[in-house]
Amino acid sequence: MANLINQFERNALEGVASGIIERIASEKTVQSSAYTLNDVAETIFSLTRRAVAQVLRKLNHSLPQSRLPAELWLQVWSLLGFSDRVTTSHVCHSWREAIIGFPQLWTSIRFISTVHGEDCTCGPCISVDQPCVTCQRPPKKRTENFEKAFCLLERGAGVPVDLRIAIDAPDFTLLPAWRQLRRALQLHSSRIRFLEIEARDMLAASIIIKLLHGSVALQVLHVLLLRGQTWGEDDLMASNHLEADVVLPHLHTLSLAAGVNLASSALPLCPSCNTVRTTFNTTVDILAILKAAPKVQNLHLWYNRNQVFLPGRPEEISALREAVVAAGTQSLVLRHTAPWIIQAFLATFDLKKLASVIVEQFRSDEPQDETFSSVLSSLARPDNLAWLMNDTSKISVSREEIQLREVTFTKFSRNRASSFRLWDRLDPGARDTLHSIHVDYRAWHGVFLPEDDSYVWNIERLTIDVSRNRITSDIVEWANIGPMRAGAFPQLRRLCLRAKPSKQPPELLQSVFRRATVNLGIQGQRLQTLTLEGMVPEGGIDLWLARMPIDELIVISV
């Protein structure tokens, strides 16, 4: 092993020396100036980086089972460019841990709390006294390792932070670890740009939000309420736990979820029966945050189908409407089962002020035509409308009614033979206005099978999601998309492939990626951004990327 490394090192250094000599010899006159010295220094660094990458490639090719120690990996990683980092990232089995130890390489910090089992007896684990009302089983215990968040924030000083905090413990402010997290948030609030809070209720979430008062960095806030509260008619206004002096001046995106999981790692309230039954006065909760964040442009409201929704009193709805108008909200996303709840919220907002409306409607047997038509007639600039539902056979959309620029196609029906009809109802001319498509794998054959095979799509962003497939939802499904002819997506710049964690071997994944690009007709086509969302095993992407030129790679491992 040592002899092999010495041989590679000697060959690499000889190549670097030859390159430097050739570079200097190519200059007609070599002057002792700062410019010449800097130029030579940059050349040395560039050639060294290329030599290190070449050594690693040869080493990994000769010893495919080799595992470099984290210390060596850190030094290598710091010398490599982006493309070489991607190529060699599978060499070290603990590269994630290695990067954590090298804060200069961080671009963001995402802290996720640890989940312990029911039999865990460690001190921070707190059991919940109230069992699930459906199955009578207590939920799993959790431990909130706040000290880890404090450590990461301290070591990555100056790095923007994406932070997720999960709290499902009564009286969590009494935990010793909470003092560390509170101190970390107070010291580093100016760096947190994305914050996701998973809490029992709005009272717990507001305790954390207060710590970010005046933060100029916070742009996105997700609040997931797990349990809600049981309110009486006289207690509706009492749920506003944010003081009037709390201000989030640059917050532009607000997501409020009731009883649903915003992250794949979040546990439902009851892991046994997967049900949550609570009551939410969402109007008051939204109003409280909008008062603190007067510039919210994107408002996302998510609900679980088991929730009991309280729309609020007329004066609360009026105050909410005024807050939305004052903030200049441009985008609205609603997700719920029952159309009457969607209608209640749509009546709250002035749709003529919105540029984007996305409504997601799941497993509903109630009539949907009336709700859809009322939204279309209310939109002044409906250039971005996505309507997700179980049955779209009755929906009729033409270019005269709406010009779509971004649309999401999905199908949640258990009947796999049912046809996806929304695309068939679109006027052919309306397809020319699309620039972004998000398609569920089960709806693929209903969307990308136009009668004219020579049709050229003008879309710039394409997302293919196979994570919801009940039978097979891993990366292998990507090979089954299409087929499309070469050049079908000449304007495609951003491609996102989404799947659940895969246990397939790297050799199969390489074949899957290669086949997917061929089926999409984009083999060899340069992309601006490629996002792979799902577990990508080590060694599963490097050979494929050699055939797929990209400017930016985003790998999201679940």
The 10s digit of each residue's pLDDT in 424-471 is: 444 455 555 556 666 655 555 545 554 555 667 777 878 777 665 544
509 falls in which pLDDT band (50, 70, 90)? low
> How many Å apart are CA 166 and CA 169, to the nearest integer?
9
3-state DSSP call for residue 38? helix
Which tokens hold the place of 497?
Answer: 């492939």
Q: Tokens 């985003």 belong to which residue?
A: 554
* Stretch among 300-304, 337-341, 369-373, 482-486 having the lowest mean pLDDT: 369-373
The CA-based angle 404-405-406, given to 5 degrees, is 100
Q: CB–CB of 57/87 below 8 Å?
A: yes
Taking only the tens place, the pLDDT of each residue in 524-537 is 777 777 777 765 55
Q: Is there a cis peptide before residue 131, judged by omega within 30 degrees of 0?
A: no
Select, from the ranges 1-10, 65-74, 118-127, 315-324, the one with the highest average predicted confidence (pLDDT): 315-324
Which pLDDT score is estimated for 534? 64
> How many Å apart are CA 202 and CA 223, to the nearest integer?
8
89 falls in which pLDDT band (50, 70, 90)? very low
pTM of full prediction above 0.75: no
Torsion of CA 469, 475, 477, 478, to 10 degrees: 120
Which pLDDT score is estimated for 193? 85
Which pLDDT score is estimated for 374? 57
Q: What is the DSSP string of 384-427?
A: SEEEE-S--TT----TTT---SEEEE----S-TTS---HHHHS-
Residues in Cβ contact with 517 at an 8 Å cutoff, skipping those fewer than 6 apart: 523, 544, 547, 548
